[in-house]
Amino acid sequence: MTHRTQIEDYNYSVFVGSEEFMAFRTLLPVGSSAADFEAKLLETGQRVQFSDYWKKGDVLIEFGSLT
Amino acid sequence: MGEVPPLTKLHEKYRDKGFAFFIVYVREAHPGENFPHHGSFEQKLAHARQLRDLERVKIPILIDDLKGAAHVAYGLLPNMIYLIDRDRTVVYKSDWTDAHELEGMCESLVRLDDMKARQVPIIRKGVSERLHWIPMDPQHRERIYRRSGEKAIRDYFNARGHLPYATDAERDKT
Amino acid sequence: MARQFAPKGINFVFLYTREAHPGENYPAHRSFEQKLEHARAFKAEFNVERPILVDDLTGTAHKLYGSLPNMTYLIGRGGRVLFRADWTDPRTIEYAINYVLNSRARRREGLRLAPFYAEFVGYRWNDPGKFQEGLVRAGQQAVDDFDRAMKQRLKQGPRLGRIELPE
């Protein structure tokens, strides 16, 4: 899959509602080690490493969007 | 074998609020000389009667078949608990019985019944899971294993490298 | 809640994903700059004080955690998943956090605790008005798409709850 297709695939333009529920079920159950990733901090524009948060303490992460 | 008396209290509190409680008798988790693994259904039945008498169980006991059909369908763990609502949805499940937490879940189901009766629309339901901490009672465990027989204790030791009621220090040594 | 639990060492962050219900006003992201813009609009609209992490355009972080539109995870110091939900409900989360803090306190008192696993279905009496408002904000297309998706689901009829077998 090309990068462009990956982007269009992920960012669907029409909500259909067939969620990938199975992925959530099997991916990171309680007790397992959280997955690390890099993201951009909106406030400063810096790149941050998610693991930096759990290295200092507990972290509660909510996923979402405007819509 | 986990905790029966606290479940009994819960049973007394909720049986008139539309809840049915059951204990499903499955295979012997720690077979020993006194309580060996089941070779026949009659034997399984006899063990279940002993459980009822020894632990003074007031909750109805269902005997699973010898092949463990129910046990397999529900996950094969020795002391799981499932809370199932009228619509057949699994509302709560845990790989160990904790009566204290169960009480909270029963309360929320009672509240849910109330909401439904008042026709409050239930828009969404989701699933959450969490790491659940259970206090270990070494004396209780020792009693269970000794009752089963020395073999049960030996087998556990061979499997885990420490006694089933070992202290933290002894456990860490292994 | 973030303010309430910060002194107990819990950090709250928000991860910005793809648009769950893209519409004319807030369409699906076609560039990272656009995603950042939407994230800024989100921050302004809802007065978000928590740090907002913006996921890359292909949803790397979102996919690692299960791709659902509004999940919440509680990760303990050291990186262990302590709690997670396939939806975000303040009451459930508060309960989960208090449970963790409470278990730690009990352990500090010397109680021996062993880790097990519990799974709950949560019932939510959502305000349908607010959800609809959200769709309208995204644009008419979002409203129509959701409508269509709901009609599809109703056609399929009720599904029996399946028993999930643990590992």
- 3-class DSSP string for chain A: CCHHHHHHHHCCCCCCCCCCHHHHHHHCCCCCECCCCEEEECCCCCEEECHHHHHHCEEEEEEECCC
Q: Percent of chain B at pLDDT above 70?
A: 93
Residues of B in contact with A29 (CB under 8 A): 129
CA B32/CA B153 separation, integer angstroms = 8
Sign of the Cα torsion B116, C69, C52, C135 reads negative
Check whether C147 has a pLDDT greater than 80: no
Residue A48 in any domain: the answer is: yes
Does residue A65 form part of some domain?
A: no
The minimum CA-CA distance between C77 and chain A, rounded to whole Å, is 4
Residue C135 lies in a domain: no
Could you give the angle at the alpha carbon of C102 between the alpha carbons of A31 and C48, nearest 5°? Answer: 75
- The whole-number pLDDT of residue A19 equals 56
Q: Which residue range(s) make up the domain with A20?
A: 3-56
Nearest Cα of chain B lies from the Cα of C33 at a distance, in angstroms, of 32
Both tokens assigned to B117:
């009766």
Mean of per-residue pLDDT scores for chain B: 84
CB contact under 8 A, C116 and B89: no
The answer on pLDDT for A21 being more than 70 is no
Q: Do A63 and C15 touch (CB under 8 A)?
A: yes
Contacts of B86 in chain C (CB under 8 A): none
Interval B28-49 mean pLDDT:
90
Q: What is the mean pLDDT of residues C65-74?
A: 94
Give the mean model confidence (pLDDT) for residues B54-68: 89
Which residue among A32, A58, A60 places its CB closest to the CB of C72?
A60
Q: Is residue A33 part of a domain?
A: yes
pLDDT of C157 over the 50 cut:
no
Residue C166 in domain: no
Q: Which of B62, B63, B35 is nearest to B147 (CA)?
A: B35
Q: What is the mean pLDDT of residues C2-29?
A: 90
Q: Does C131 touch chain B (CB under 8 A)?
A: yes
For an interface test with A, the pick among C10, C38, C46, C84 (most A C-beta atoms closer than 10 Å) comes out as C84
Q: Which residues does chain A have within 8 Å of residue C39's beta carbon, measured at their own beta carbons?
A: 42, 66
Å between C148 CA and nearest CA of chain B:
17
Residue A20's pLDDT band, with cuts at 50, 70 and 90, is low
Residue C91 forms contact with B (CB below 8 Å): no
C76: in domain: yes
Residue C41 in domain: yes
> What's the pLDDT band for B116 if we cut at 50, 70, 90?
confident
Domain extent, residue C110, equals 2-124
When pLDDT is averaged across residues B76-80 and rounded to a whole number, the result is: 85
**What pLDDT score was predicted for residue B125?**
67
Contacts of C104 in chain B (CB under 8 A): none
What single-letter amino acid sits at A62? E
- Tally of domains within chain A: 1
Comparison of pLDDT for C15 and B84, the residue scoring more: C15
State yes or no: pLDDT of C167 exceeds 50: no
- Please state the φ and ψ torsions of residue A30, each to the nearest 5 degrees: -60, 145
Element (H, E) at C23: none
- Measured between alpha carbons, how far is B37 from B53 in angstroms, rounded to an integer? 19
Between β-strands A38-41 and C113-124, what pairing exists: parallel, antiparallel or unpaired? unpaired
Query: Average of pLDDT values for C93-107?
Result: 88
- Pick B68 or C127 by higher pLDDT: B68
Is residue C5 over pLDDT 90?
no
Domain-by-domain residue ranges, chain B? 5-135, 136-174
Of B91, B131, B132, the CB nearest to C121: B91
CA-nearest of C167, A29, C82, A32 to B77 is C167
Q: What is the DSSP letter of B13?
A: H
> What pLDDT score does C161 carry?
35
Distance CA B68, CA B25 (A): 9
Residue C159 has pLDDT above 50, yes or no: no
Residue C163 resides in a domain: no
Taking residues B18-35, report their average pLDDT: 89
Task: Decide: B78 and B36 in contact? Cβ < 8 Å.
Answer: no
Task: Please tell me the predicted confidence (pLDDT) of residue C164.
Answer: 35
- Chain B residues near residue A31 by CB distance under 8 angstroms: 131
Residue C8: is its pLDDT beyond 60?
yes
State the pTM of this model. 0.78
Number of domains in chain C: 1
pLDDT score, position C11: 93
User: Of the given ranges (B162-166, C104-108, C132-136), which has the lowest mean pLDDT?
Assistant: C132-136
Non-local CB neighbours of B154 within 8 Å, separated by 6+ positions: none
Per-residue pLDDT averaged across B49-56, rounded? 90
Lowest mean pLDDT among B57-71, B112-126, C30-44: B112-126
CA B165 to centroid of chain Cα atoms? 19
In a domain, A66, yes or no: no
pLDDT class for A31, splitting at 50, 70, 90? confident
pLDDT of residue C53 exceeding 90, the answer is: yes
Specify the pLDDT at position C39: 97
Q: Determine the pLDDT at residue C6.
A: 82
What CATH number has the domain bearing residue C34? Answer: 3.40.30
Q: Are A57 and C11 in contact (CB under 8 A)?
A: yes
Answer yes or no: is C88 within a domain: yes
CATH of domain B5-135: 3.40.30.10
Q: Residue B73, CB half-sphere, CA atoms under 13 Å: how many?
A: 10
Is the separation of the CB atoms in A34 and C75 below 8 Å? yes
Which pLDDT does position C125 carry in this prediction? 63
* B120 backbone dihedrals φ, ψ, rounded to 5°: -75, 130
* Selected residue with higher pLDDT from B112 and C74: C74
